[in-house]
Each structure stands twice: as C-alpha cells, then as structure tokens.
Amino acid sequence: MSKEIVKKVCELLDDVRNKKPLVHNITNYVTVNDCANILLAIGASPIMADDIKESADITKISNALVINIGTLNERTIKSMIVSGKKANELNIPVVFDPVGAGASEFRNSITKKILEEIKINILRGNMSEVKFISGLKSTTKGVDASESDMKSGNEEGINIAKNLANKLNCIVAITGITDIVSDGECTVMLENGTKMLSNVTGTGCMSSALIGGFCGAGNDYFIGAIAGIISMGIAGEVSFEKSEKIGLGSFRVGIIDAISNMNSDIIVNMAKVQEI
C-alpha cells in the first residue's frame, strides 16, 4: 500500500505541473513570499488576496483556498470567513493552518469560529495546535510546538489525528519529527525531513501552501496532504545535504530549489511512508 501511495503522489505531482492550479492564500505577512514561491516552484499558481472587497471573488476562480492565521487581525478574519464559505459553496478544497492555536484567547476564539463556520477539508498543524483543537491539554511556544508536546509518541499522535479527523470529518496532518496524516480510517506516518526545517520560519506555512497546490490539482485530499508534506520533507533533506556547511540562508533557498526540481524519481527513491 505504501508503494501505491507513493505512486499516487508522483501522479499528483504531474497533475500539478500540467494543470497549474490557482491557489488562493489568505496567509500571514511573515511567510507570504515564501508561500508564493514554494507554490510556483511546485508548478502551481499562487494568489494572495486578503481584502474583504475581493477575497470571495478570488476564491471563486481558484482551485484551492489556504487559510493561515499566523499574523491574525480583525481585517483578514472577515475575508477568511467569506472566502471559506464561498469555497464550500463551490466545492473548492479548504486547507486550514491554525498557527499558534492555544497561544491566546483571541487566536483560540477565531480558530473555533473558522472551524464552526467553514467546512475544512485539510487541517495541518503542529502537535501543540492539533492537541489544542482536539480539546486536549497542550502548551505552545508562541507559534511553535512546545518541547513537551513534541515528545508525544507516535501512537498518541496517531490516535489524536484519527479522532480529530473523524470529529471534523476532514484530513488531519500533524507535522513534526514524524509527520502523521489521517482521514479517520487510513493513517500514515511520514519520516522525511531534517531538524533544520524547524530553524527556518515558514516551513509549516509552506507545507500548507503545498498541500493547497496538490489538492487544487486533484480530488483525493488524503493523497494531496501526503504529497505536500512529503515534498517539503524531501526538499529539506536535499537542501541540508547541499548547504550543511554554508548556513541557514542557503538552506532556506535550497528548499525552494529542491521543490522546483522535484520529480517522480526523487520521490520514489526518497519517500519514507509507513501505513498504519
């Protein structure tokens, strides 16, 4: 089955390159440029429109919507809600990245509001964020997962992902040392990546953007989530090998280089997928 998943990921990559899906990102100003460039690198087309006067119209012509609350503010919340509802109306996939959920009452209330008013297709977050949304005890380190939450074992992470996927009726992707993706029935662990990815801001945001690109090119959102996360993990490994002795700046640029050069042979040779 793992080989079949990898095969589907490769096919979906070809679909992204052929279809060039338009991905509407209502994201944060810290990582917006990286999210746009990572989508261009994979072969998708990004658009960043967060004003209420046009956000729903932009969603209407897009193939996927990515909502990211990294730099949350009152102005963009309205755009997120109307765009999410428009996406639901038109059966456009919605990716939600609940950056920093659990860190503040404001952020927590908006996370709840988004989940109540929008049908999310893919939820991607770190362990602290996903534990908070699951109603479990969690601690955050700003927008990063806390060390205590990151020590959650794979078995606990699998159970959390499966239960939340069933509760929200969506794909849940938990990214960390080991990535876990579940639709409530099928669950996989992905073991690509490097610790260096946590030293570059925005790699989680870029993963969510990539998921949007893959889901915008196909109808299998489970595979779309896996494809986005595998691509980022492999890109991190490739970039680290080339930039290890140079530094973080080169590593960051190397991630985009690696995504732009991603192909089926690289994925088949490097993907580490374990079906649960």
Task: Give the C-alpha separation, 82 to 20, whole Å.
Answer: 24
212 is in an annotated binding site: no
Task: Give the C-alpha separation, 148 to 237, whole Å.
Answer: 25
124 is in an annotated binding site: yes
The one-letter amino acid at 99: V
175 is in an annotated binding site: yes
Q: What are the b/e assignments for 78-98, b being 16+ CB within 10 Å?
A: ebbbbbbbbbbeeebbbbbbb
202 is in an annotated binding site: yes
Here the tokens at position 79 are 């755009």
CA 263, 238, 156, 131 torsion-angle sign: negative
| Neighbouring-strand partners of residue 64 | 23
Show binding-site residues for substrate. Answer: 48, 202
Show binding-site residues. Answer: 48, 124, 175, 202
Show binding-site residues for ATP. Answer: 124, 175
